[in-house]
Amino acid sequence: MSRSLSAPAIRQEESKAPPAFATDIDAFIGYLSLERGLSVHTRVAYQNDLDQCARFLAKRGAADWRTVAGDEVTAWIHALSGNDYTVASLARKLTALRGLARHLVREKLRGDDFTELLIGPKLARHLPGTLTPEEVERLLAAPAGGDAYAVRDRAILELFYSSGLRVSELTALTLQQVDLENGYVRVFGKGAKERVVPLGDKARDALITYLDAARPRFVKARTGSQLFLSERGRAISRITVFVLVKKYAKLAGITKSVQPHLLRHSFATHLLSGGADLRAIQEMLGHANIATTQIYTAVEEQRLLRQHAEFHPRNRA
């Protein structure tokens, strides 16, 4: 069954795909929106990648996606490798192309997957940075005082560390998503997937204080049900949260580059080192694939190696 949805108005005239290719690209982008719930940012990136590929293939004489051969898309990948694209960008372009190929097979527009034999660039495995428990304690204590801003900011930091939320998830929270009585938040993550994440006692207490003593100070005539508010009475922005986290990290005397995502990494790493089950951590983080969560086992392994090297008597000179 063919599905169609108007693609985002993102194409510039000079960069759009030839019409014979564009129809299938638009249908695929529509599928990603309706069926997969991918973000606009991801769909825009995939659209640009596929338009770029289509222009390359058309110049080589390809008529449309349904007649493209594997060696033609291999030539595109090789051509990209000669430019200044990062490995991550190349990998994303190949992911977009593979997704389109599978979509064509699924819709019975092709009998084969023309990307099946393609080999993409390997992404280097970067271990996420973390804060130590002591650094986290200093950071959480940094918003000092009882004014509305400090109370709000303490609640934000406590919730970050207690629940491992993404910054986009935290800033999008509404009052209805917070269950203080049972101690959890209902989160809508990537692809609009819903999950329930525990609050923890200290985060719960910080939220209760914020809701009672601070949030009313930020409420304006047109304020909605957003949980964390700016001074204008609107949902606090991701940029503001980034600035706040960096500000309090500096006040806490932390020399590492601290961003909201570092608290998410610290949440997962500290749970794992405390004995939490990897599957439970995966569920709390909202990872679709356990392999994404497993990177934290490598972080813990590196920590143990450092501890062994530093403290084992046989390692001392």
184 is catalytic: no
DSSP string over 92-159: HHHHHHHHHHHHHHHTTS-SS-TTTT--PPPPP-PPPP---HHHHHHHHH-S-SSSHHHHHHHHHHHH
30 burial level (CB within 10 Å; 0-12, 13-18, 19+): middle
Annotation marks residue 102 as catalytic: no
How far apart, in whole angstroms, are the C-alpha atoms of residue 219 and residue 173?
16
Q: Which two tokens mark 6?
A: 């108007």
Nearest alpha-carbon partner for 6 in 38, 24, 29, 35: 29
Q: How far apart are CA 287 and CA 195, in angstroms?
A: 10
92-95 — which CB contacts under 8 Å span 24+ positions?
92/45, 92/46, 92/49, 93/49, 93/52, 93/53, 94/118, 94/120, 94/121, 95/46, 95/120
The encoded tokens of residue 268 equal 């997962």
Amino acid at 138: R
Residue 296 bears catalytic tag:
yes
**Which one of the listed residues 190, 195, 238, 247 is annotated catalytic?**
190
**Annotation marks residue 238 as catalytic:** no
| Known catalytic membership, residue 287 | yes
Query: Any catalytic annotation for residue 261?
Result: yes
The residue annotated as part of the active site, out of 11, 247, 261, 303, is 261
Catalytic residue among 31, 184, 210, 296: 296
Out of 234, 247, 287, 303, the active site residue is: 287
Token reading at 109: 């527009």
Question: What's the alpha-carbon Rg for the chain, to the nearest Å?
Answer: 24
Catalytic residue among 166, 204, 215, 270: 166
Percentages helix, strand, coil for the chain, rounded to the nearest 5? Answer: 60, 5, 35
Q: Which of 154, 264, 265, 270 does the annotation list as catalytic?
A: 264
**Residue 57: closest CA among 109, 118, 66, 27:** 66
Residues with a catalytic annotation lie at 166, 190, 261, 264, 287, 296
